[in-house]
Amino acid sequence: MSKPSPHLSPTQKELLLDLLEVEELFRDGRLAGGTIASHVMYKMVSRRGRTLPAPVAGKVQADHVFVGVFARTVTRLVSLGLVKRRSVRGDFPGLPYQWGFARHGKRDKDIFLTDAGLEQARQLREKATARSEARQPSEARQPSEARQQSEARQQKEPPQERALPNEGQAPVIQYAVKPKPPAGKPAQVVTGQFVVRFPGYSVTYVYTRRP
């Protein structure tokens, strides 16, 4: 008998979904620097618009209130057996302030989904995807009656060949651009010309040389 899913708060569900996404990037080798926890916290705090300038140029940090919320949420998910902490000492070269968002105080630990947490996160993502599809307009998922009738007529009627505009006729517009000789200089000698035809008009290219 499978263990019933624990009751999770919206913040806990959000963290599991973000952790699932970041772990997939990590496994695919597409996580650019930092720890998994730092990327998850960055997604969550950015979504709330609660980032602050960091002492390191080009980086941001979370306000202290959300740092506490994040830490308590992780602790609760660890107690539920959905998230685990693992030592990553030696995984990150360089100085601690170079390791990523909010990494200063967490120099040797990172967070990962457990097997139960992975299953729970995938279920949450499937439900979120189903809700997103259900919110789409019904017209996008099912053709209207008029559209169905139009498609039925197209299936019954044989395909007709459509002629291009002015097909088989002389171009309506013709361009013949000839260079004008500079003042005080003899006219250039035309050595040839090339006509390019387009639907409805043609362009004549003239080749010249100086005498």
Among 14-18, 46-50, 139-143, 201-205, the minimum mean pLDDT is found in 139-143
- Which of 114, 52, 105 lies closest to 83 in space, CA to CA? 114
> Does residue 157 or residue 27 have the better pLDDT?
27
pLDDT at 204: 76
Among 63-77, 109-123, 163-177, the minimum mean pLDDT is found in 163-177
Instruction: Give per-residue burial for 119-158: e unless 16+ CB within 10 Å, then b.
Output: ebbeebeeeeeeeeeeeeeeeeeeeeeeeeeeeeeeeeee
0.75 cut: is pTM over it?
no
Cα distances from 133 to residues 127, 129, 140, 203, in angstroms, run 10, 6, 10, 51
Half-sphere exposure of 2 (CA within 13 A, CB side): 6
Q: Is the pLDDT of residue 172 over 70?
A: no
Helix ranges (H only) for the chain are: 10-27, 36-48, 64-79, 115-134, 138-141, 145-156
Task: Determine contact, residues 79/38, Cβ cutoff 8 Å.
Answer: no
Q: How far apart are CA 52 and CA 63, in angstroms?
A: 6
